[in-house]
A and B are shown apart, each in its own frame.
Chain A
Amino acid sequence: MFKDIEHLIRLALVIAIAVVAFIVLRVAVVPTSFGQYGHYRGAAVGEAAARPIAFAGHQVCEGCHTDVAEKKKQGKHVVVSCEACHGALARHADDPTSVTPVKLDTATLCGRCHEANSAKPKLFPQVVTADHSGGIACDTCHQPHKPRIEDEKPAAEGKK
């Protein structure tokens, strides 16, 4: 009787071997932290947290550059983070001599925030630079850390 289904038994054996091989493969290859928190590699959470940092954060800058911090506190740019203008400087904070921050091109930089645009909030200080300054660098007249020009009447907020 068995002879007649011999080929099927052999087939069943082949399938069983394949299943076992698959299980062995799974145990060997799947990363150990998989399933730790959910259906993913648990170690990936730690790896994501371990990325190097590019922006130091303004408290770190103010830790050394106290004079600038003091000056900023007196003006409207107190809420602007140092690195918003100066770029990512964690490496500079880590070792000040390794990276020297580049002097910024105020003509482009300031305009990104302050160039007049109908989509900007009405009360946000913005100017049409062509009329306002004729395109010269903004820091010709304004000191970026304390932007209001002292000996002038406070300019009306909004478009000129």
Chain B
Amino acid sequence: MDITRRHLLALLPAAAVAWKYILAGTPEASPNYKLSEHWWGMLIDIPKCIGCGSCVRACAEENDVPDGYFRTWIERYHVADWRIERPEVESPNGGKQGFPPNEISGGKNFFVPKLCNHCTDSPCTQVCPVGATFVTPDGVVLVDKSYCLGCRYCVQACPYGCRFVNPKTNTAEKCSLCYHRITKGLTTACCEVCPTGARQLADLKNPKDPIHEFLKTHTVQVLKPHMATGAKVFYNGMDGSVR
């Protein structure tokens, strides 16, 4: 909890500057944002996640995500005993309305929020035939809505299942790490509403960012490391059963 507060207080002056531009009706990236000074990622603290679904709802509201599609979602795991290769997983409507109480007790139970990992060696970027999805100089994987053909190759190439095609725009879509927010000194919508600090935005190029200390003192993993995607979403306390 303390980390969250300190982190947010550091952002306050930058947010204040940005807010001026938002209120003025000119929400372009604030003039004091330089692409080369940032390298974005995220930290997910699994022991803190309560599966409330606030992040899924906030993301949908912030980014106009259509029903039935998810830029972020939560999975609930039940691991009975030693069979960590065969967990029981569910994600009712992506966890958007939280989770119903489960009758299963015993074993190990926990929540795992998932989103685009903003891979450094992103396979979705590699396969895009036209350059409609790309990695920005500050490490965010974005989709150019006006250039995307809707061929869906990128959706096939993502090992994490975080991409979909928006039925309204017929273009590929996914978590943008709230690029329109982070470039103005705000945090992502999901991190903003997370009540326990289980999700935290991280700027890997900022030496003052608490992620550096955290990575040194905790056991963290990325999803599917054997895919060598250079994922930048780090999971603290992630069990071996997580797929």
User: Are chains A and B touching directly in their complex (CB below 8 angstroms)?
Assistant: yes
B102, A118: Cβ atoms closer than 8 Å = yes
- Interface contacts (Cβ under 8 Å), in number, total 157
Given contacts A45-B136, A49-B183, contact A84 B47 (CB under 8 A): no
B29, A88: Cβ atoms closer than 8 Å = no
Interface status of A134 (Cβ within 8 A of chain B)? no
B179, A59: Cβ atoms closer than 8 Å = no
Chain B count of residues within 8 A CB distance of the other chain: 66
Q: Which chain B residues border A118 with CB–CB below 8 Å?
A: 102, 104-105, 109
Within the complex, the shortest CB–CB distance from B171 to chain A, in Å, comes to 12
Interface status of A113 (Cβ within 8 A of chain B)? yes
A113, B197: Cβ atoms closer than 8 Å = no
Contact with A along B76-101 (1 / 0, CB 8 A): 11100000000000000000011101
Given contacts A119-B109, A120-B50, A121-B50, contact A48 B134 (CB under 8 A): no
Q: Which residues of B contact A (CB under 8 A)?
A: 1, 4-5, 8, 12, 15-16, 19, 22-23, 27-29, 33, 35, 47-54, 58, 61-63, 76-78, 97-99, 101-102, 104-105, 109-111, 131-137, 142, 144, 146-147, 176, 179-181, 183-184, 186-187, 189, 192-197
Q: Which residues of A contact B (CB under 8 A)?
A: 31, 34, 37-41, 44-55, 57-60, 77, 79-81, 83-84, 87-88, 90, 94, 111-113, 115-121, 124, 126, 128
